[in-house]
Amino acid sequence: MNGEFVIDVHGLSKSFEGKVAVNRLTLQVKRGEIYGFLGPNGSGKTTSIRMLCGLLTPDSGSGTCLGFDVLKQTAEIKRQVGYMTQRFSLYEDLSIRENLDFTARVYGMKNRREVVEKSLDRLGLTERKDQLAGTLSGGWKQRLALAACMLHEPRLLLLDEPTAGVDPKARRDFWDEIHKLAADGITVLVSTHYMDEAERCHRLAYIAYGNLLTHGTAAEVVANSGITTWAVEGDDLFHLAEQLRGLPGIKQVVPFGTTLHVSGVEAELLHRSISPFQEDVRYRWMRAKPGLEDVFIQMMDQARDNFV
């Protein structure tokens, strides 16, 4: 296996019923890296991740995952992958311990009792081991699901929107655990819609309607976007937003609390359009640093839905 990259693929494509879901994806992911996938619903995030992990065979392209060919050795890849879906898929009428024991039986583990106890301890589930899964909060269900997909000690984790519907405290605890796993050398692929989670990834990719539009660290993605953003404060911002939308050079007018973010990719044209409003004493204008959300909204507006 390439010592640097756990995943090294080139030109992966996948279509369903004649519609291109993923178009010539090229990507490299290092060992112990948390790699985030962002994009609108139906953009190809899940399809991309499943192809990378051997859960779905590409129509074309080439590459390796964990040293195995993604076209010819998918069975070998799957044995070393832990997959956590968005929807809780364990048995709600079994306890935490019973769920983990059942999963260990499915994996055919001979030392399953030892493995289950270790898993309970590692993820802080020991005190709740006899609690029925159906009575757990979203955060504890999430922790149980992570424990289950880690039982066979995978080298690669696939997390498909794992924190959807979970409160902020539980999300933070979950990400702390993910970073611990990455520090131990486990590679993590995660899809998410949360910008704060995207910023916690080592690197990320933005996929829209099957096409990889950008990738890199969060800072690199923002820096390479070419977006210029102004923030404006004042009274009656709703009316101001209505006046600004559609002017030359203005691609986004987005409320952020008590301010508006006004953004575009042509800085001079943007400035000419907002100049008359900057003279209005009711408003206070200042340059702002664009964030990931600004970048992704911009990309989403530019992307073309390939299923329409």
Domains of the chain: 5-222 (3.40.50.300), 228-289 (3.30.70.330)
Residue 171 confidence (pLDDT): 87
Residue stretches of the chain with pLDDT short of 50: 1-2, 307-308
For residue 136, give Cα distances in angstroms to 20, 80, 92, 179, 244.
39, 28, 9, 24, 47
Q: Identify whether the C-beta of residue 251 lies closer than 8 Å to the C-beta of residue 298.
A: yes
Q: Residue 304's pLDDT is what?
A: 61
- Confidence (pLDDT) at 262: 95
**Per-residue pLDDT reduced to its tens digit, 63-85:** 999 999 999 999 999 889 998 87
- Rounded to 5 degrees, φ, ψ at 271 are -65, -40
pLDDT of 305 reads 59
User: What pLDDT is recorded for position 28?
Assistant: 94
pTM confidence score? 0.87
Q: What is the pLDDT of residues 127-173, one digit of tens each?
A: 999 999 999 988 888 889 999 999 999 999 999 888 877 788 888 88
Comparing C-alpha atoms, which of 203, 214, 170 is closest to residue 162? 170
Amino acid 95 reads S
Query: Residue 1: its pLDDT value, please?
Result: 41
- Please give the Cα distance from 281 to 121 (Å, whole number): 61
Q: Give the Cβ contact number of residue 202 at 10 Å.
A: 16
